[in-house]
Structure 1
Amino acid sequence: MEKLLIKNGTIIDVESGVSFIGSIEIEGSKIKRIIKQNDELPLAIVTVDANGKYIIPGLIDMHCHINERYAPHFVASGVTTVRNAAGNVNLLSNLIEKPDHGPTPRVYASDRMIDGTPGQWGPTSYGNFVTDDPEEARKEVRRQVDAGAKFVKLYGWIKREVMAAAVDEAKKYNLEVACDLMNSKELTILDAAELGVNWIEHISGFAQEMYKGWNPLVDQKEWGHIDWDHPDQAKIKELCEKMLAYNVKLCPTMVVFDQSMKYPEIWSPKNYVIESIDSISYLMQEWEKNTEYVDSIKSRTAIINNLTKAVAKTYYDMGGTVVAGTDTPALMFTYPGMALHRELEIFVEIGFTEMEALQAATVNAAKSINLNDIGSIKEGKIADLVILSKNPLENIKHTQDIDFIVKGGKLYKQDEILCSVPSEEEVNKSIQAFIEEWEAASID
């Protein structure tokens, strides 16, 4: 087994909340030993002097939608694991089956979302399953279990009885259930919690519970009395108390709303990763297309921006689980990998400490989905590390000052990872082949 030694760096222990100078001995894909300062160091094939640098665990994006075209951009950003919240497990098989040390993130994936008629993303396809029949939903959950889904994703037009059936079926297989109620016209966050949903994505459905009858699709002029800029803290606390009773977990994805509300003054730092993302034409075209509808996005979807932030901080302060995700590449300029750094900035802006923000994207994220071999720097865990040139506990923006990434025990520079980005032609060919195979199998 190959050995890697990272010596004399400041190790940030996100579990204990303390930092110390030490060295990390890596053998194969695992952390073999944490060595205290001044102790004798072992020999290694590769040694990295991290003197004056800071070492954090690989970051985890708890809500994104990945594909092969921009998968390396996550790792180049220090994001070594992603939770893919709806898509198709088979379509992602090339990424899921990559070895630990590969230059793409490990993928914890749900399968296609289960939605109600007529389907927010159209009729049933490889990416979504549309039904108002509880038994059909149960069959779909069983199919997803066989396909290897790690959790089940429900979408906003799902009927109550269908949600209840899907949740019940998923629990038979010990699968958690997540839902996105962003455009829900009938169900609220409390409805989902009462029916046994484990995860609320984007803190969606909270506004529908606070303001009965509101949703992004109604005439917003009729709801002009709502002060979205200054959410009702008493109502937020009251509802958070109810959510805590059901042990619901939240992934707020604040960056997806924040980027839209800030447009045209979007967050867009200049670095290697974003320069590479700028060359992905279909992503840029989609984001530019959405800018044409920015007023509608701001007034209907991203209008919950401040409410989402207030709920995230309140729920965390009350003891609830709140983790970091991005919804990449949704809406506008949610840069793959890099958007998570902006999410961490927002965590701090709303009152989290730098350490708490880091924990939301490392140890707390890993624990929330029972990935016990990642998320912190401990002996025996997978060696996913990010070596930073500046201290992120002094300023969370320093998570962007990346010197090296270690993925599954392999050392990378950012530009080395970006060299592995496939062409759009390659990815399109792969996706088209999958679609043809899916349709030929008549899975639906």
Structure 2
Amino acid sequence: MRWVGALLLVLAPLTSMAQEVVVLRDVRLFDGTGAPSRDHVDIVIRGTVIDRVEPTGTSPLPEAKSVDGRGTFVVPGLISAHSHVGQVDGVSRVPENYNRENVLRQLRQYEVYGVTTIVALGTNQEPFYGIRREAHAGTIPGADLFGADRGIGVRNGAPSAQVLPSAADSVDRPQSVDEARAVVRQAKDRGTDLIKMWVDDSRGTMPKMTCEVYSAVIDEAHRLGLRVSAHLFNLQDARGLVEAGVDIIAHGVRDQPVDRALIDLMKAKSVWYVATLALDDASFVYADRPAWMDEPFFRHSVQPALQKQFDDPAWREKTLAAPGLKNSREALKMNQRNLAILFESGVQIGFGTDSGAMPLRIPGFAEHRELELMVEAGLTPAQALAIATGRTADLLKLPDRGTIAAGVYTSPEIAQIGLTEGEAAALGRRCRVVTQPLAVVDRAVIDGAADGVLKLVLDARSERLLGAMLICDQATALLPALGLLLRTKAKVSTLGAAGLAYPTLAGVFGKITDGLLRERLTRPVRWLLRQRFRWLR
């Protein structure tokens, strides 16, 4: 796990700081947009805001507190879209574990391991909402917390009370379409962030939610403005759920390879996929006793009772002899294979681990193990990190985290994201620079910002965005659209086709893509168009 251990400094959403200026000097930066890492970077933080990101030494800032970052690799805080809190303590799994002290301990552990935002995906109890409110306000230490209320299962089905004892009382189990709609409304009234449901028969050993019920859950949730995340195992269930409109697949398909029909359907409906590779891996990896279990990075994450279990030869022997062990190993391999296929096919991939659901799914460490398993599946470390940061922020619709983008609050503002022209050239990228004055944008003229400018650094061959700089009032408001373009590696023309609201500053995107389109027209085509429109006049 050496490459993961290089993550020495993680930048999270900042809260409750005075307007002190801090400069992290000469760091190596991975900004979460999918752009390559950059060396010799200064990050200027003013109060609670990442003020700007610039080459080392650009701004002396003698009044700032300077932190020597040489040798430090800075990334945005990791984000898990599938974790749990309050389910376990040591090796125990009892409902009483869902208490304030235990939940806060787990949130602190997530943060220590660089996981700064988690979604507790179901089985939440009464303390959840108060703790979530404090986490959002930044008045308690630890990761920020979102959640999916209690979650929806079926009677005598998943999640099993034998596997997860707290599920006996903390999961809604409707038996009809009307009851399903009712529990969704109740979750909405309690203030849930999204809806979680279990659609899994545990390899044919228990009842499974019917299509009619889960379709009603999805329909009611969407009517109320909530998205739905589904626990599953089988390809057939994945197809049915996607057809019914599910928003997030919360576990990987593990029974067989994903097919073209599912891939096309997920892309058409913009469904997110969270593989949770670490789930099956945790069933056997600790009994396999890899060398990293003796490293401080791992041992710090393990509570004493769990460490005692790991050190027990009898536990290891029993685990390795368990009848289901072969199934877990095969499920992990299939999950990794399917993740690679879906990623290469352009399906939207998010990050999650199911950490905290069971004692072996260790908060904080599980997220680093997930990154390693993603790389084993065929993704590059940069691709895995981009998924665990910027892409999962997109999944959760949290524009204030997941990337380290610069927004300088001057008059006018200056905002920069991705690579500069010089940085692209230093990386050997053939690029072109396109500049668009804001004087042609109605909103800028109305607001007195006509002297602003948008500068794009594009790949010379593909016209994909490599970086951008905006100089105008409200410049930082335009960064999320550009950040999405960087993360998805889409062509810049995508912005011009997005049906932009009028009149807003986003109109500059339409102007710049119109200009690029005109440049691509051949001279004869331009002549024909002029003749055509002259005739129409």
TM exceeding 0.5: yes
**Is the Cα contact below 8 Å between 1:287 and 1:333 reproduced in 2?**
no
Corresponding position of 2:301: 277
**Is the Cα contact below 8 Å between 1:240 and 1:311 reproduced in 2?**
no
* TM-aligned CA distance change 1:85 to 1:287, over 3 Å: farther
| Pick aligned residue for 1:189 from 234, 238, 250 | 238
| Pick aligned residue for 2:107 from 58, 71, 77 | 71
**Is the Cα contact below 8 Å between 1:33 and 1:379 reproduced in 2?**
yes
The aligned amino acid for 2:238 is I
Provide the C-alpha distance between the structure 1 equivalents of 2:309 and 2:120, rounded to a whole number of angstroms.
22
Greater alpha carbon shift after TM alignment, 351-360 vs 16-25: 16-25
Identity %: 24
Give secondary structure in 1 for the equivalent of 2:24.
strand
**Is the Cα contact below 8 Å between 1:76 and 1:273 reproduced in 2?**
no
Q: Does 1:23 align with 2:42?
A: yes
Corresponding position of 1:11: 29
Give the CA deviation at 1:320.
0.4
Give secondary structure in 1 for the equivalent of 2:382.
helix
Residue-pair matches, total: 353
Provide the C-alpha distance between the structure 2 equivalents of 1:101 and 1:41, rounded to a whole number of angstroms.
33
**Is the Cα contact below 8 Å between 2:252 and 2:277 reproduced in 1?**
no
* TM-aligned CA distance change 1:83 to 1:164, over 3 Å: same
| Pick aligned residue for 1:256 from 279, 285, 288 | 279
* TM-aligned CA distance change 1:338 to 1:118, over 3 Å: same
Provide the C-alpha distance between the structure 2 equivalents of 1:284 and 1:193, rounded to a whole number of angstroms.
43
Corresponding position of 1:198: 247
| Pick aligned residue for 1:115 from 136, 145, 153 | 153
Q: Does 1:308 align with 2:335?
A: yes
Provide the C-alpha distance between the structure 2 equivalents of 1:287 and 1:198, rounded to a whole number of angstroms.
41
**Is the Cα contact below 8 Å between 1:83 and 1:107 reproduced in 2?**
yes
Corresponding position of 1:170: 221
**Is the Cα contact below 8 Å between 2:115 and 2:143 reproduced in 1?**
yes
* TM-aligned CA distance change 1:284 to 1:148, over 3 Å: farther
Provide the C-alpha distance between the structure 2 equivalents of 1:181 and 1:46, rounded to a whole number of angstroms.
49
Give secondary structure in 1 for the equivalent of 2:51.
strand
Give the CA deviation at 1:306.
1.1
Unpaired runs of at least 5, structure 2: 1-17, 87-102, 200-207, 409-537
Provide the C-alpha distance between the structure 2 equivalents of 1:94 and 1:276, rounded to a whole number of angstroms.
28
Pairs within 5 Å for 1:230-245: 236-245=259-268
Corresponding position of 1:41: 60
Provide the C-alpha distance between the structure 1 equivalents of 2:57 and 2:390, rounded to a whole number of angstroms.
28
Q: Give the number of the structure with larger relative contact order, counting CA–CA contacts within 8 Å between residues 6 or more apart.
A: 1
Provide the C-alpha distance between the structure 2 equivalents of 1:375 and 1:49, rounded to a whole number of angstroms.
23
Q: Does 1:326 align with 2:343?
A: no
Pairs within 5 Å for 1:122-137: 122=161, 126-137=169-180
Provide the C-alpha distance between the structure 1 equivalents of 2:364 and 2:263, rounded to a whole number of angstroms.
30
Greater alpha carbon shift after TM alignment, 318-327 vs 255-264: 255-264
Provide the C-alpha distance between the structure 1 equivalents of 2:251 and 2:66, rounded to a whole number of angstroms.
41
Corresponding position of 2:288: 265
- With structure 1 as the length reference, what TM-score do the two structures score? 0.72
Pairs within 5 Å for 1:140-151: 140-151=183-194
Greater alpha carbon shift after TM alignment, 114-123 vs 60-69: 114-123
The aligned amino acid for 1:52 is G
Deviations 1:113-136 (A, max 9, x none): 211122333497542011221111
Provide the C-alpha distance between the structure 2 equivalents of 1:49 and 1:11, rounded to a whole number of angstroms.
14
The aligned amino acid for 1:73 is Q
Provide the C-alpha distance between the structure 2 equivalents of 1:169 and 1:369, rounded to a whole number of angstroms.
20
Provide the C-alpha distance between the structure 2 equivalents of 1:340 and 1:124, rounded to a whole number of angstroms.
23
Greater alpha carbon shift after TM alignment, 313-322 vs 85-94: 85-94
